[in-house]
Amino acid sequence: MNNIYTLTKNNKSLSIEFLSNNTLRIFDKKVKTDLIELCYKVNKTVPEINNDEFIYQGYHVVLKDNFDLVIYKNNVLVVSISNEYKEDQMNVHYALSDVSSVYGLGDKMAAMNRKGYYFRQWNTDDPVHQDELYPSLYKSINFLLNYTNKNYFGLFFPSTYPYEFDISHKALNHVYINSKCTSIDYFLFLGDKPKDIISNYSSLVGHPYFIRMKMLGNQQSRWSYNNEKEVRDVMEGYLKAKIPLDYIHFDIDYMDGFRDFTVDTNKFPDMKGLNKYLNSHHVEGVVINDSGVKVDENYVFYKFCKDKNLFSTYQGKEYVGTVWPGDAVFPKYYSKDAKKYFSEICYSFMKENGFTGLWNDMNEPTSFKGELPLDVDFSIKGRELTHLEEHNVYGEHMIRCFNSIWEKDNIRPYIFTRSAFATTPKYAFVWNGDNFSLWHHLRLCIPQILTMSISGAMFNGADVGGFGSDSTKELVIRWAEANVLMPFFRNHSNLNSKAQEPYAYDKELEDIYRHYIKIRYELIPYLYTLTYHMNKDGEPIVRPLFYNYPEDKNVLEINDQYMVGENMMVAPVVDQGVKERIVYFPKGIWFDYETGEKYTGGRSYIISMPLEKTGIFVKNHCIIPVFSNLMYIDRKEIDTIGFKVFGNSGSCELYDDDGISLDYKKKVFNVYKVSYKNSEFTLKSIKNGYESPYRNIKLYTNNKCYDLIFNSDIKEMIKND
Ligand code: GLC
């Protein structure tokens, strides 16, 4: 069966390949995709094609003689894409209607609607970045979600070469996509809703991996906790402040002279003992690993890689850049040998020192000497590879060396990276790199996280409180409130910045921080059920409002509110001194999660939000599964599941498993359907493979709490008096 249709004119050609999930691949010559892994599914049914026209999933598609691809839906033009191939570059461009938005492109710091901006996909670490006009950041995700003429469509460019996206910047209402990559090759996703397009795109690049439940917990970091005492002080600070905590991060100063996989034993004489101490409080250690390896003949890891020819070269010699240890060289992480050896070294290092999480950094790759020349040689046996082609996927190749180290212990990976490509989320999650403690960075982190989410990197987060420079008390509070339900929640700050831990300011900050972290812990079963769908279906945990309400034109440009799953919405204050804000509610009835205050959707309200308040809202007729009083997350210790009913009836789904092992792949998990109607509570398991530690249920309805005995099939009348 041939699933490819090719039009040839004047010695040129353009092909359309029919893939599953409403996806078409358009190409004149397919780019090499061996550096990444695509989950490529060919469609068995190819439409009938007459005169270069066909009907595909309700779309009328016409391939013109000049290779313009014109798409209509219900006789309305969706888009006309011009495909131009010149000697040294490809150019794809299309017009937008006046009413249009373009979303996507990963981590770029700008409004979600990318119209008016120019971006360049070239993974970049720049200390003064993260301004709205900065064209490149740490990640290159060439995915665009377009809304135009009442229709949505998606585009994804799979090449790892640099790309330029000019989105209504040089010419209003036009999108120009250029690349020196010498072929036209992109995927086109058709579908009525952003949700379908995003999940089809995510299926192609791979759904994000399934995280541990504990990773939804609160995390504390700093560059750096410089010695054992400072780490113990953090633990004690948290215990004293009674703020839940699950992970502490060890930044570069734990290393001996910034050498990867070493510990400075003067500062940390007993790293394993220190991690054991943290573990005794149910907190685990996450350790940083940088891509540049110190040049030092006496350093075992350097010698080892050198002997195996694992470093990239320039003009026949190792290419030497400058990173934290001074002179540093860059491994060829793409090589099979690197994966084999590095994973073993990393596994032993983590085990010997008691770390459970790995943080990968400086892997754009960054060198303080300036960018590596484009012809630095990353070739491996059988594959020529220049820095130009490897650059955007270097971070991914680095983490692919390590992401399987937990398999031996049947544990899900805890691995994250700063630099990433579109296909990275199936191996590692990401954080958004170095922001500053500035109000506009707080404002921008919301569209940034949401855009990452719809670009497939669905488990992500920003440095809470801001990384660079000192944060004010008010900013730390508002940042924690705004990020309260973001997937990855980590307070992190820079060397020399003032202490930013939640106990480092005053009692008011401590109280507010604790309050919202406790709400986050209460909502872990809700968030965890969403992580299940992220992994299984490619559905983002946090979403822009248009994801859930594509038919509501009022939500297309909302950058300061976000949806968490289908049923919750967060609307925080993100400006200094502000004590109230306008909140837009999509259709339906909504309740304030904390106060129960009711709002009727389809309009905006001005809502009072003093410093101690952020807006968390829940839809009518839904049930939110909750935990109570957790100070850390350890699934096996949790025997009570609560359900909060919003409105007089409702329903929800609840996913449950051991929260840590890979057994979910063998169907060792449960899915329950829960509902409450006419005073009758029902819980029924629809998938039942896990022996749950749940023993009790707390049902919250009618302003009361009812205690029930847990069982996987319950029907119980609740007496309302
Ligand atoms: C980079 C990271 C930052 C880290 C620092 C020191 O700037 O982005 O998070 O703290 O390096 O390792």
Mean pLDDT, to the nearest integer, of 570-588?
98
pLDDT at 1: 53
Query: In Å, what is the CA distance from 321 to each residue of 313, 331, 334, 399, 656?
Result: 11, 12, 19, 20, 47
Using a pLDDT cut of 90, give the percent of the chain over it. 93
CA of 652 to the centre of ligand 1 (A): 40
Over residues 441-461, the pLDDT tens digits come to 999 999 999 999 999 999 999
Provide the pLDDT confidence category of residue 150 given band limits of 50, 70 and 90. Answer: confident
The token pair at 653 is 């789904």
CA of 469 to the centre of ligand 1 (A): 13
Taking Cα atoms as reference points, which of 473, 546, 680, 488 lies closest to residue 195? 546
The token pair at 593 is 């999660």
Question: What residues pair up with 615 in beta bridges, in sequence order?
Answer: 571
Taking Cα atoms as reference points, which of 135, 103, 100 lies closest to residue 120? 135
Distance CA 131, CA 134 (A): 5
Burial degree of 256 (CB within 10 A; 0-12, 13-18, 19+): middle
Over residues 198-240, the pLDDT tens digits come to 999 999 999 999 999 999 999 999 999 999 999 999 999 999 9
Over residues 648-671, the pLDDT tens digits come to 999 999 999 999 999 999 999 999
Distance CA 638, CA 635 (A): 5
Taking Cα atoms as reference points, which of 644, 106, 170 lies closest to residue 396? 106
Q: What is the largest CA-CA distance in the chain?
A: 83
Residue nearest to atom 7 of ligand 1 (CA): 434
Q: Which atom of ligand 1 is nearest to the CA of 434?
A: 8
Distance CA 561, CA 544 (A): 8
Mutate to test the pocket of ligand 1, among 223, 252, 366 (most ligand atoms within 8 A of CB): 223
pLDDT at 564: 99
Peptide bond into 20 cis (omega under 30): no
Query: In Å, what is the CA distance from 135 to each residue of 114, 163, 182, 348, 710?
Result: 11, 11, 22, 40, 53
- Cα dihedral 87, 115, 202, 17 sign: negative
Distance CA 405, CA 351 (A): 10
Q: Is the pLDDT of residue 538 over 80?
A: yes
Q: Point out the catalytic residue in the list 251, 434, 463, 510.
A: 434
8 Å CB contact between 420 and 457: yes
Residue nearest to atom 3 of ligand 1 (CA): 434
Instruction: Kindly state the DSSP code that residue 637 receives in the 8-state scheme.
Output: G
**Which residues in 373-529 belong to E strands, given as ranges?**
415-417, 420-421, 429-431, 460-461, 463-464, 490-491
**Helix extents (H) in 98-210:** 194-205
Q: Is the pLDDT of residue 305 over 70?
A: yes
Q: Which atom of ligand 1 is nearest to the CA of 290?
A: 12
Provide the pLDDT confidence category of residue 149 given band limits of 50, 70 and 90. Answer: confident
Taking Cα atoms as reference points, which of 205, 242, 252, 188 lies closest to residue 492? 252
Provide the pLDDT confidence category of residue 380 given band limits of 50, 70 and 90. Answer: very high
Count of C-beta atoms within a 10 Å radius of residue 594: 14
Q: Is the pLDDT of residue 353 over 70?
A: yes
Would you call 434 a catalytic residue per the annotation? yes
pLDDT at 721: 63
Query: In Å, what is the CA distance from 117 to each residue of 166, 553, 598, 617?
Result: 6, 22, 39, 32
Taking Cα atoms as reference points, which of 128, 150, 130 lies closest to residue 139? 130
What residues does ligand 1 touch, defined as CB less than 6 Å away? 223, 251-252, 288, 361, 418, 433-434, 492
Distance CA 612, CA 520 (A): 15
Distance CA 711, CA 166 (A): 56
Residue 257, SS3 per DSSP: coil
Beta strand 580-585 with 603-608: parallel, antiparallel or unpaired? antiparallel
Q: Is the pLDDT of residue 65 over 70?
A: yes
Whole-prediction pTM value?
Answer: 0.98
Residue nearest to atom 4 of ligand 1 (CA): 223
Give me the chain's average pLDDT, please: 96
Would you call 361 a catalytic residue per the annotation? yes
pLDDT at 97: 87
Would you call 337 a catalytic residue per the annotation? no
Q: Is the pLDDT of residue 87 over 90?
A: no
Q: Which atom of ligand 1 is nearest to the CA of 495?
A: 10
Distance CA 310, CA 341 (A): 10
**Helix extents (H) in 42-159:** none
Mean pLDDT, to the nearest integer, of 556-585?
98
